[in-house]
Amino acid sequence: MPTLPREQSEPVQLHQARQMAESFGTNTQRYDQARPGYPDGLVARIVAGSPGPDVLDVGCGTGIAARQFQAAGCVVLGVEPDARMAGFAQACGLQAEVATFEAWEPAGRVFDTLIAAQSWHWVDPVAGAVKAAQVLRPNGRLAIFGHV
């Protein structure tokens, strides 16, 4: 029996799929309402393991995780490539800067904890790891988490 040739394709590198990544901002209110928050126990455990209150939220989106960390007593800065998502986060009282994490300029700022809630797959794995190491204080924490 003849077999059809199998198509070989390169796997999509999500950190390079900017159009897909920024499609979530088309309806920020719906996105914010539909995306679930994170377990309070997870947030508490990350906060308890942090050497201090300063948190950088990479790919903060509308600020779902950032608001939870802010409510837990943290000072949160979000970095978000989609200006619409960052604007929603700002309207919710969060500080958010518009940039991809790889291109973002920390301007000498360092953080106790860097979180990436359902977003690290949008970050270049090599450049992101280097930048995370640069912006974390000694003994700082990197917390990458998401929904299953």
**Dist. CA 53–CA 16, nearest whole Å:** 32
Q: What's the mean pLDDT in 105-109?
A: 97
What CATH number does residue 93 fall under? Answer: 3.40.50.150
Q: Residue 17 domain-assigned? A: no
**Dist. CA 36–CA 114, nearest whole Å:** 20
* pLDDT > 90 fraction of the chain, expressed in percent and rounded: 74
Q: What is the pTM of this model?
A: 0.85
Q: Residue 140 domain-assigned? A: yes
Structural domain of residue 119, as residue ranges? 49-145
Q: Residue 20 domain-assigned? A: no
Q: Give the model confidence (pLDDT) of 17-61 as tens digits.
A: 555 556 666 678 888 898 899 999 999 999 999 999 999 999 999
Q: Which residues pair with 76 in a beta bridge?
A: 55
Q: Residue 130 domain-assigned? A: yes
Q: Residue 84 domain-assigned? A: yes
At residue 67 the predicted structure's pLDDT band, cuts being 50, 70 and 90, is very high
Question: Amino acid identity of 108?
Answer: G
Q: Residue 80 domain-assigned? A: yes
Cβ distance 63 to 96 under 8 Å? yes
Whether pLDDT at 143 is above 90: yes
Task: Name the least confident of 4-18, 72-86, 96-110, 126-140.
Answer: 4-18
Calculate helix-pair angle for 40-49, 64-71, nearest 10 degrees.
Answer: 60
Question: How many domains does the chain fold into?
Answer: 1
Whether pLDDT at 5 is above 60: no
* String of DSSP letters for 72-111: TT-EEEEEES-HHHHHHHHHTT-EEEES-TTT---TT--E
> Across all residues in the chain, what is the average pLDDT?
88
